[in-house]
Structure formats: C-alpha cells, structure tokens
Structure 1
Amino acid sequence: MAEIHLSRDVLSALQEVMEGEYSALLDTFLADSESRLQQLHNAQSPAQIIEAAHSFKGSSSNLGALRLAELCCLLERQAKDNPLGDVQPLIADIAGEFALVRPLYEAERQRSVTES
C-alpha cells in the first residue's frame, strides 16, 4: 500500500545522499507541503493555483511522493487548460493524498532518527 504513495527507492537514495540531514529534509518537506496546501486552498486566481501546484509537484516528486506529484500535475494542467473550471475536487484529492503520506513520512523520519 505505501509503495503506491511513496517510492522507497527515492527515499533510500535521498537518505544516502543527505546522511545526517535526511530527517531535516523530511521535516522541511512536510512544513513546505502544509504551506503549499494552504496556498492551493487560498488561491484567488488560476495563476496562483498553477504556481502552487507546480512547486508542490516538484517537491513531491523529488521526495518520492509519486501519487501526490501526479495529482499536482493534473491540477496544474487543469488550471492551465480550463482556468474557469472547478478545481476544488482536485485540491481536495491532493489534501487527502497528503493526509495519507504525512504519517508515512513521519514514520520514515522516526526510523531514520532511530538508525542514526
């Protein structure tokens, strides 16, 4: 189940590269993700949605949250192709996916701290 949401290969590679800073990277991603979600919920224009979705897509992809990145990509495309369309259901899907991956990242952070 977790493999659908997080790439273990990406996380392993990041842990190897980041070494002692790995848990800080995970913390930064979680805090940044919360901020991106707020930006999506508070966006007043398609441009704001596109910007937040693009940024969220990149960080999610870099940290192995593949499904989250995919949803952000869909939102970015939808906001570009149909700026007047209702994007709220997709933003809700992104929030739901983040709610699923957040505890997985928190467990990963705990595991990495315990191993150090």
Structure 2
Amino acid sequence: MSQAKSVDADVIENLKSLGGMELLAELHTVFISTSEALIADLHKALAAGDALGVQEKAHSLKSSSGNMGALQLSQICMQLEKMGQTKDLSQAKDLAQKLDVEFKQVSLELRQIVAAQ
C-alpha cells in the first residue's frame, strides 16, 4: 500500500516511546476534542472576516497537529496563519475546506493507530 499517510509514523513512535500507548491514547483524545473546537472557531472567524481570529486559531492548531505527527494538517494551518497575519483571507475558505478533509483523515488514522495497539 503506497498511499500517503496523514500521520507521520516516526512521530507516533516517539510519542509511544515517551509514555506508551496509554499516553498516546490520552493525547489522541485531547487532540481530537481540542482540534474540533479550534476548527469550529476558525470557521467562525473566517465567516466574520476576523483575520486575527483565523491567525490565532490556525497557529494553535498548527502546533498541536505537528506534535501529533499530522504534518500535512500542520502545513495547511501554517498557510491559514499566514493569511491571517497578512489579513488576506481571499483564499482562506478553500484552504479551510482542505483543512476539514485533512482533519477527518488524521482523525481516522489516529483512531486506527490507537485501536490497533
């Protein structure tokens, strides 16, 4: 299976080496719930044309995504963060849709990783 993964296996292995599957399962739960709230808030900020809100939510999500090995999701967040910084949200709606799709994939992969252990 040569399909690209949304979650970096090396990051997951590093997390497991730090605290085992219990830690990974707990981090997964916190990451998903926190990310869902951040994404909802990001969409609200985007709908309101709130560039600072987009920047702040994208920044928070960028960091946590990277820490969980969701590197593509983190990259999307970095782009949204930059759009917020420059106050140019003209392409942000399309990018936010990509973020939604990627987050669903990350959620699925993390759930499978935790369930398989």
Task: Establish whether TM, by shorter chain, passes 0.5.
Answer: yes
CA spacing shift, 1:99–1:84, aligned 2, 3 Å: closer
**1:64 match: secondary structure:** coil
Whether contact under 8 Å (1:54, 1:76) holds in the other structure is yes
2:54 to 31, 42, 49: 49
- In structure 1, what residue type is equivalent to 2:100? A
Name the TM-score, length of structure 2 as normaliser.
0.87
2: distance between equivalents of 1:111 and 1:62? 20
Count residues in correspondence: 111
Unaligned runs of 5+ in 2: none
Structure 1 position 6 matched with structure 2 position 7 = yes
Q: CA deviation at 1:36?
A: 1.2
- In structure 1, what residue type is equivalent to 2:61? F
Tell me the residue number matched to 1:107: 112
Tell me the residue number matched to 2:92: 87
1:23 to 25, 33, 44: 25
- In structure 2, what residue type is equivalent to 1:101? V
Moved over 3 A (4+): none
Identity of matched residues, %: 28
Q: CA deviation at 1:80?
A: 1.5
1: distance between equivalents of 2:28 and 2:103? 13
Return the structure number with greater helix share. 1
CA spacing shift, 1:24–1:2, aligned 2, 3 Å: farther
Unaligned runs of 5+ in 1: none
User: For 1:43-84, what per-residue CA distance to the aligned partner results, in whole angstroms no more than 9, with x for missing partners?
Assistant: 131011000000000000011001000000011112212435
Q: CA deviation at 1:86?
A: 4.1
**2:116 match: secondary structure:** helix
Whether contact under 8 Å (2:38, 2:57) holds in the other structure is yes
Tell me the residue number matched to 1:77: 82
Name the TM-score, length of structure 1 as normaliser.
0.88
2: distance between equivalents of 1:88 and 1:46? 12
